[in-house]
C-alpha cells in the first residue's frame, strides 16, 4: 500500500461529485426524548439479542448532552428502558477481547479560560451496557480517540491532537499491548499520519474496521471553514497499514447534499456531516450512519468503501 498524497477538501469533494453517485439517505426517527435532537449516532451494534444505537441527545440551543441507547420498534428508535445514560457527547463503540468498549466526549469548564468549555474523551468497558465502568481518560482537549483490535492481538489507538501539535486537528496512531496501557502518556506519544490535512483543514477517525488482510479501514471526517466561519464536514475513508503505520489515499464517501433537507443547530453548521459508524453488507454495499447539521441522525446505503482495501496485499503477507 502506497502512502496517500495530500489533497484538500475541495479537490476531494470534486472527485466525489465527479463519480455521480445516485444514492440518497434517509432520516432516522427517534422517540421518547421530548423535543431534544438526536444526532452523531453510532452504527447499530449487538447487545445480547438486540440491535442498539447510541446517540447524542440535547436541546437545540445547548451543548449539555446525554448519550442514550436506543432500540428499534416498528421503524422508530426508542430509549432502551434498562440501559444507563451518560453525560457525554459523540458516542462510539467497539469490541476488544470480546469486551464492549464504549466512549464519548466529556465537556467541562475550562480550568484557565473563564467562561469557556473544555473537553476530553472517556472510555468505558464491560460485558454489556449495564456493567460499563470507566477505565481510561484521554488528554484534555482531545476528541476523536478511537480503538481497534489488531490481527496480532495488539490494540491500535487513533488520536487527534490539536494546537501546538496537530494544528486544527490531525490524526495520530500508536499501538499498545493492552487496555491497561491506554494512558495519557502513551496517547501523547502517537505519531501523526503524513499527507492527510492541510493546515487550514482538520479531521479525525470515527470508527475503525479490521479487514480480512489485516489492513484497517478507517471511517472518519474531513472539515474546513468558509468565510464567516461556516463549517463544512464530509464523511471520508482511508486504508491504514498498522505494521508500517502508513495511511493510504483519503476519499470522501458522503456529503450533506446526499441527505434530505432539514434543520441545523445554527446557521454555521448547515453543511455538516459527522461520520458515526458503518455496517458492511454482504452485497458490496455498506450502510453509513451520520449526524447531520448537528441536529439530526440519518443513514445511507453506499458502495462499501473498504472492499478495495481488502484486495491490497500487506507487505507482511
- Confidence band, pLDDT 50/70/90 cuts, at residue 66: very high
Identify which has the larger pLDDT, 172 or 163. 172
Average pLDDT along the chain: 95
Count of positions (residues) in the chain: 317
Predicted local confidence at residue 1, as pLDDT:
72
> Exposed, middle or buried by CB within 10 Å (0-12, 13-18, 19+), for 212?
exposed
Q: Which residue has the cell 474496521?
A: 209
CATH topology of domain 9-311: Tachylectin-2; Chain A (2.115.10)
For residues 231, 297, 98, 106, the Cα torsion angle rounded to the nearest 10 degrees is 50
pLDDT at 317: 40
Task: Please write the tens of the pLDDT for every residue from 103-121.
Answer: 999 999 888 887 788 899 9
Domain boundaries, the chain: 9-311
pLDDT top residue among 117 and 290: 290
Predicted structure pTM score: 0.96
Q: What is the pLDDT of residue 175?
A: 98
Residue 232 above 50 pLDDT?
yes
**Is the dihedral angle over the CA atoms 298, 276, 234, 56 positive or is it negative?**
positive
Q: What is the pLDDT of residues 248-270, one digit of tens each?
A: 999 999 999 999 999 999 999 99
pLDDT of residue 5: 84
Which CA distances in Å does 8 have to 55, 224, 258? 30, 9, 20
Q: Spell out the SS3 assignment of 192-217.
A: ECCCCCCCCCEEEEEEEEECCCCCEE
- pLDDT for residue 314: 61
pLDDT, greater one: 17 or 2 = 17
Q: How many angstroms separate the CA atoms of 77 and 28, rounded?
A: 8
Amino acid at each position: 500500500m502506497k502512502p496517500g498524497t495530500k489533497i484538500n477538501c475541495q479537490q476531494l469533494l470534486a472527485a466525489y461529485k465527479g463519480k455521480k453517485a445516485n444514492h440518497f439517505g434517509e432520516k432516522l426517527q427517534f422517540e421518547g426524548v421530548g423535543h431534544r435532537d438526536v444526532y452523531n449516532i453510532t452504527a447499530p451494534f449487538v447487545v445480547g439479542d438486540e440491535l442498539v444505537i447510541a446517540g447524542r441527545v440535547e436541546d437545540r440551543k445547548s451543548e449539555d448532552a446525554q448519550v442514550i441507547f436506543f432500540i428499534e420498534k416498528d421503524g422508530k428508535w426508542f430509549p432502551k428502558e434498562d440501559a444507563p445514560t451518560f453525560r457525554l457527547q459523540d458516542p462510539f463503540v467497539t469490541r476488544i477481547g470480546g469486551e464492549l468498549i464504549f466512549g464519548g466526549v466529556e465537556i467541562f469548564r475550562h480550568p484557565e479560560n473563564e467562561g469557556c468549555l473544555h473537553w476530553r474523551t472517556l472510555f468505558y468497558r464491560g460485558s454489556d451496557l449495564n456493567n460499563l465502568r470507566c477505565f481510561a481518560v484521554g488528554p484534555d482537549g482531545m476528541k476523536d480517540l478511537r480503538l481497534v483490535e489488531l490481527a496480532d492481538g495488539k490494540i491500535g489507538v487513533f488520536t487527534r491532537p490539536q494546537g501546538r501539535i496537530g494544528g486544527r486537528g490531525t490524526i495520530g496512531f500508536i499501538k499498545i499491548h493492552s487496555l491497561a496501557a491506554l494512558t495519557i502518556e502513551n496517547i501523547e506519544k502517537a505519531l501523526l499520519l503524513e499527507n492527510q490535512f492541510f493546515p487550514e483543514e482538520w479531521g479525525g477517525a470515527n470508527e475503525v474496521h479490521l479487514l480480512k488482510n489485516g489492513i484497517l479501514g478507517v471511517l472518519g471526517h474531513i472539515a474546513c471553514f468558509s468565510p464567516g466561519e461556516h463549517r463544512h464536514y464530509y464523511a471520508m475513508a482511508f486504508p491504514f497499514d498498522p505494521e508500517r503505520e502508513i495511511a493510504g489515499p483519503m476519499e470522501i464517501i458522503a456529503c450533506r447534499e446526499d441527505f434530505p433537507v432539514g434543520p441545523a443547530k445554527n446557521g454555521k453548521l448547515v453543511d455538516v456531516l459527522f461520520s458515526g459508524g458503518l455496517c458492511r453488507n454482504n452485497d458490496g454495499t455498506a450502510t453509513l450512519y451520520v449526524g447531520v447539521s448537528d441536529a439530526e441522525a440519518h443513514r445511507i446505503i453506499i458502495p462499501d468503501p473498504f472492499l478495495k482495501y481488502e484486495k491490497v496485499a500487506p507487505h507482511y503477507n
